Structure 1
């Protein structure tokens, strides 16, 4: 089953790549690596949620936002390489979580992104990861995800 078929089986659809909100591009390839820019949880061009995890969103709601971000990162990756079957593996994922100062479950929020990548890509989707709490993110989004993928 291809990654795109797996996405469809999960009841999801790869979105259009979000237009950059600044002076950057959604993804850059260098050799056999593709780096995506940070992806925020846009759904159909709109933000469903804003605010801080631990104050305005639960850990579970934050994880769902991370899942959306990861789907958007896969869309940026596909736009750069043309076919997700060209992914050898996801090497690294960084999850930024806009967090209430007392919130410490950033890794659980990051699991939303990590789990989606494993569901779509199987073993190729397993990766190293950092999940970092931050005071604020652009547009007051609760989560932002970036990834590095090895491709052919």
Structure 2
């Protein structure tokens, strides 16, 4: 999806009824994002709003695929907040390089890529061609705060 050049990523988010939240407070001893040269690396971002997880539990058990995709979108918004705290605006992003998604999964759940599509599709809608990225979707036993999804990103600025 190509976006109009005059439209900013923030405007495209707003058109979808979304906004970049305040930077989520870390749950341990780390910073939300670090810049080195032309790249920003985010720490793993959880699906929290107003300091609380929007969903908890394992995908394929307590959490549906649709709720897990929504959690992935929230993680992505939180990652973008950490990036914007460094760049000042999302238009500074020249490319989404890599997205890594971790999915707390029930033992028989194998649709981790579909969960992380919640993040990838949002990035495509907001950034167009700039949002095309490499990706990993990894099933794990448990994540911090019992959330179902965690996302980390590498972007070029």
Same fold? TM cut 0.5: yes
- Superposed, 1:15-26 pairs within 5 Å as 15-26=21-32
Residues paired across the two proteins, number: 151
Choose the corresponding residue for 2:85, options 79, 82, 92. Answer: 79
User: Within 2, Cα distance between the matches of 1:86 and 1:49?
Assistant: 31
TM-score by length of 1: 0.97
- Residue 44 of structure 1 and its aligned partner are, at CA, apart by 2.0
1:9 equivalent to 2:20? Answer no
Query: In the alignment, is the contact (CA less than 8 A) between 2:55 and 2:67 conserved in 1?
Result: no
Choose the corresponding residue for 1:135, options 113, 138, 141. Answer: 141
What's the Cα RMSD here? 0.7
TM-score by length of 2: 0.94
Instruction: Give per-residue Cα distances to partners, 1:76-127, cap 9 Å, x unaligned.
Output: 1100111111100000000000000110000000000001111111111110
Query: In the alignment, is the contact (CA less than 8 A) between 2:72 and 2:150 conserved in 1?
Result: yes
Instruction: Give per-residue Cα distances to partners, 1:22-81, cap 9 Å, x unaligned.
Output: 111000000000000000001122112100000011112111110111111111110011
1:59 equivalent to 2:62? Answer no
**Stretches of 4+ aligned residues off by more than 6 angstroms:** none
Structure 1: 5+ residue stretches without partners: none
